[in-house]
Each structure stands twice: as structure tokens, then as C-alpha cells.
Amino acid sequence: MIRLFTAVAIPAEVSDHLLPRQHGIEGGRWRSREAFHITLKFIGDVQETTAADLDEELQSVATPAFDLELQGVGHFGEGVEIHAVWAGVAENPVLRQLAKAHESAARRAGLKPESRVYTPHVTLAYLKRPAVPEVAAWIQANNLLHSPPFRVDRFGLYSSWRTHEGSAYRLEAEYPLG
């Protein structure tokens, strides 16, 4: 079994705008620059044969290259159940088209459809029972985040495994756009 997801990597010049925001919530497990990405499709644990089928389907994804910007911040969960804070992604129809193409590729590879609404974001920290006022203060302090535009001309298929420091990722395959 291999745990997979597809994503757009965040370039270093954009990561430079995110790193200084990683403080202010006690106990937050702040993600490293290398972990910054925008998930297109979370696959989960699959057999190697299914991973090969998915790889083949992803090779046929035809979306043009496009520009993207990060904008705003937010969180997942409510109250003491807040479990992550993130940088948002400015609305982009081509990104949504790309995410839909990944959902279709996964279905053709025999995977179950996603039931959650797609919310493009870059996870900055994972939280465990945070102080809600700290999260609210962090949101207020960082809500005007707006990155410079960056070009998206490829996406990747990544494997993921858990470590004591959190999840670690490895690029398994890269696919050009355009």
C-alpha cells in the first residue's frame, strides 16, 4: 500500500511570504517550506497497481499552465476542534478545472469519488485543541495575506508517510501542464 495525493508545489519565493506567519498559536505544528503545497486530489492508501493506473490517467490530464495567487487565511474545524490553519488560494477557474480533472482521473483508475467540497489552500500548521482566542488573533493578524502571482506549469503525484514530526512527502511523478 502507498498513501498518495496530487498537488501543486509552492515556489520558494511564495514560501518566503508564508514562513514569517508561522507563530502565535501555542502547540502549533508548523509545516516546513518543503511541505507547502496545494492539494488537488487526496487519494489515500492504495495498492501499487492502482497507483500505476492513476499515474497513467494523470498523464492524460490536459490543462493549460496558469497563474495563481495565495489570498487570505482560514482554519478547518470549529472551537477546540480546530485542527489546521491555512493560507487561502485566490479563486481561479483553471485550478478548479485541474482539480476536477484529477477527480475524474482517480475515478477512471477505480477510486471512490471525493465527498468533501474542494477548498484549495496551503496548510501552515496542524493544531491539537488550540486556544480559540489564539487562533482568532492569528486569523486577524494574517487575513490580509496576498502573495505575488506565481506560474503553475506542472503538478505532482506525491507519496506521504507519517513521522514523529508529522507527515513527510516524496514526489513520485511530475506532469507538465500546457
Q: 145: domain CATH number?
A: 3.90.1140.10
In this predicted model, what pLDDT tens digit does every residue of 76-85 receive, in sequence order? 999 989 999 9
138-170 pLDDT tens trace: 999 999 999 999 999 999 999 998 887 778 899
What is the count of structural domains for the chain?
A: 1
Write down the pTM of the prediction. Answer: 0.94
Structural domain that includes position 105: 2-176
7 band by pLDDT with thresholds 50, 70 and 90: very high
Whose cell is 498518495? That residue is 4
- For the stretch 23-33, pLDDT in tens is 999 999 999 99
172 pLDDT above the threshold of 80 = yes
Asked whether the predicted pLDDT for residue 58 surpasses 80, the reply is yes
Q: Are 6 and 40 in contact (CB under 8 A)?
A: yes
Total residues belonging to the chain: 178
- What residues contact residue 99 under an 8 Å CB cut-off, 6+ apart? 40, 41, 118, 120
Distance CA 141, CA 144 (A): 8
Both ends of the chain: CA-CA distance in Å?
A: 32
